[in-house]
Amino acid sequence: MTLTVDEIFDRINVLIKPFNKKNIPLGPDTRFSVDLELDSLTVMDLLSEIEDEFDITVPLNLLPDLETVGQFTKAVEQLLSEQ
Amino acid sequence: MTFDLFEKFDPILKDYNNLPEGEENPFTVSMEKVLSPTTAIINGRETILAGTNNYMGMTFNEDCIAAAQEALTSLGTGTTGSRVLNGTYNSHKHLEDALRKFYDTRHAIVFSTGYQANLGIIATLAGVKDYVVIDADSHASIYDGCAMGNATIVRFKHNDPESLDKKLARIRRNDPQAGILVVLEGVYSMLGDQAPLKELTKVSKDHSAYVLVDEAHSIGVFGKTGRGVAQEQDVEDQVDFIVGTFSKSVGTIGGYCVSNHPKFEALRLVCRPYIFTASLPPSVVASATKALELITSSNLRNKLLENSMKLNRGLSQAGFDMGTTGESPIAAIIVGEQNTAIAFWGQMIKEGVYVNLALPPATPDNLNLMRCSLSAAHSFEQIDFMLEKFILVGTRLGLLQKAEERILGSDPTNIIHSARA
């Protein structure tokens, strides 16, 4: 079964919820460090949960290019398609 | 328009400028005189050193000093060369022989620092098609080794074999031929917890991955002959590379890696942090060689762990929120507020105890820690003095009262324990 981009986005949003302490409304342009105020280690923890949720490997090397929820979604879509 | 390269540091400078001034500032402290492995003169007063990582008290060992002095006189102050250009003396080779003997391995390579050993081994071993799988709470040198190399980096939950298994299974599913290096630490330095190496090495080997264990905080401390946690947990045959440092139990500076891999010597030709830096000065090499010899037959390990248990137990019974249990030479109090932790440190130094203030991101789970690393050279009297001062300052800052409320609120059986204290 192939997930649509919207489905991936929704599932990522569920995972972000516990990290979203100030209940910032989430959109594709929401930035992890600036808007959600997450430090780099927390973003790595979130990445680990995303790996387990979608059963994929998301290399830490991709992190510098993953600043927003939308970019995360796109990366997951890409990694799922490569499987 | 020109851009200020330093602008990006403004947020951290803002925090820094809010720190207390004078002797209560943890970033400006310096030692006027070092009296022994456990005491120094700081701000004009005799101070107990409670966070040195000088586990064996080796820095003032007479035999090590004599060996260093001899080398200094006969070989000079430095090598002024890299290991491959003018910087390998016989004594560097003797030190590598001593490491081979200490670990009973076929190969040993010495670096100028432990940090560089991790940089060099991780960045060089794992190439562009390979994977490095690291524990989430890894030391900065491991993260930096990953950043320096070209491999794909994957991180698993701290000390969690199930998480490691999941990450390795996924890598293998997509890339059955991939070279994989799993990087672990014997003891994690902030909270002093040991890695469950039996389980972690088993999972790694099930997926045909190589295992590297960093024993920086465990050499000299654990294992029958002081080799570290791999020896203690009897899994040395499951570990492919051991990395360590001379800057803690060995009492000087330098790093190393030992292995039985038949092609290990190739690293001397390709490992940049080994090649492109000056080699260790002869006096350092001489004291490290002597210290390794002493550690093998040392009976100081029990005294060290006894010291740690005494401090950990005392702090816990006083009602502090502890991050450590006393099973390793680390004792760390968890302090909720960062400003309270900074104030705690400032008052302790004024009371004559120099501990480590450890703050995120150097700590796991965003914890603010008052961290001690014990030494076998600490006397019980010194530990009693530390305890007295911790309790004095902790009470002043209202930490002990809060701890008591928390215990009362959470689990009624704990009251008995705190009442006994």
Banded pLDDT at A1 (limits 50, 70, 90)? low
B136 to A44: CB separation less than 8 angstroms, yes or no: yes
Task: Work out the minimum CA distance from A27 to partner chain B, whole angstroms.
Answer: 26
Q: Report whether CATH 3.60.21.10 matches the domain A5-81.
A: no
On whether the CB atoms of residues B139 and B195 are closer than 8 A, the answer is no
CATH superfamily of B9-56+299-420: Aspartate Aminotransferase, domain 1 (3.90.1150.10)
Give a three-class secondary structure readout of chain B.
CCCCCCHHHHHHHHHHHCCCCHHHCCCCCCCCEEEECCEEEECCEEEEECECCCCCCHHHCHHHHHHHHHHHHHHCCCCCCECCEECCCHHHHHHHHHHHHHHCCCEEEEECCHHHHHHHHHHHHCCCCCEEEEECCCCHHHHHHHHHCCCEEEEECCCCHHHHHHHHHHHHHHCCCCCEEEEEECECCCCCCECCHHHHHHHHHHCCCEEEEECCCCCCCCCCCCCCHHHHCCCHHHCCEEEEECCCCCCCCCEEEEECCCCHHHHHHHCHHHHCCECCCHHHHHHHHHHHHHHHCCCHHHHHHHHHHHHHHHHHHHCCCECCCCCCCEEEEEECCHHHHHHHHHHHHHCCEECEEECCCCCHHHCEEEEEECCCCCCHHHHHHHHHHHHHHHHHCCHHHHHHHHHHHHCCHHHHHHHHC
Candidate from B136, B157, B174 with C-beta closest to A57: B174
Q: What is the pLDDT along chain B (421 residues), one digit of tens a residue?
A: 678 999 999 989 999 999 999 999 999 999 999 999 999 999 999 999 999 999 999 999 999 999 999 999 999 999 999 999 999 999 999 999 999 999 999 999 999 999 999 999 999 999 999 999 999 999 999 999 999 999 999 999 999 999 999 999 999 999 999 999 999 999 999 999 999 999 999 999 999 999 999 999 999 999 999 999 999 999 999 999 999 999 999 999 999 999 999 999 999 999 999 999 999 999 999 999 999 999 988 889 999 999 999 999 999 999 999 999 999 999 999 999 999 999 999 999 999 999 999 998 889 988 999 999 999 999 999 999 999 999 999 999 999 965 555 555 444 343 333 333 3
Spell out which residues of chain B touch residue A57, defining contact as CB-CB under 8 Å: 152, 154, 167, 170-171, 174
Spell out which residues of chain A touch residue B132, defining contact as CB-CB under 8 Å: none
Q: Which residue does chain A place closest to B166, by CA atoms?
A: A52
Task: Work out the minimum CA distance from A7 to partner chain B, whole angstroms.
Answer: 22
* Tens digits of residue pLDDT in B339-384: 999 999 999 999 999 999 999 888 998 899 999 999 999 999 999 9
Q: Report whether CATH 3.40.50.20 matches the domain B61-296.
A: no
**Pairing status of strand B353-354 against strand B45-49:** parallel
Candidate from B154, B360, B361 with C-beta closest to A57: B154
A57 to B170: CB separation less than 8 angstroms, yes or no: yes
Spell out which residues of chain B touch residue A19, defining contact as CB-CB under 8 Å: none
pLDDT at B41: 98
Catalytic residue numbers of B, as ranges: 189, 217, 248
Candidate from B157, B360, B366 with C-beta closest to A48: B157
Banded pLDDT at A40 (limits 50, 70, 90)? confident
A51 to B167: CB separation less than 8 angstroms, yes or no: yes
B152 to A56: CB separation less than 8 angstroms, yes or no: no
Banded pLDDT at A82 (limits 50, 70, 90)? confident
B9-56+299-420 with B61-296: one CATH topology? no
Q: Where are the domains of chain B?
A: 9-56+299-420, 61-296
Q: Return all residues near B32 (Cβ < 8 A) that are at least 6 apart.
A: B40, B41, B42, B43, B44
Candidate from B152, B156, B361 with C-beta closest to A61: B152
Task: Work out the minimum CA distance from B9 to partner chain A, whole angstroms.
Answer: 15
Spell out which residues of chain A touch residue B146, defining contact as CB-CB under 8 Å: 60
Average pLDDT, chain A: 91
- CB of B402 within 8 Å of any CB in chain A? no
pLDDT at B319: 96
Spell out which residues of chain B touch residue A52, defining contact as CB-CB under 8 Å: 166
* Tens digits of residue pLDDT in B328-342: 999 999 999 999 999
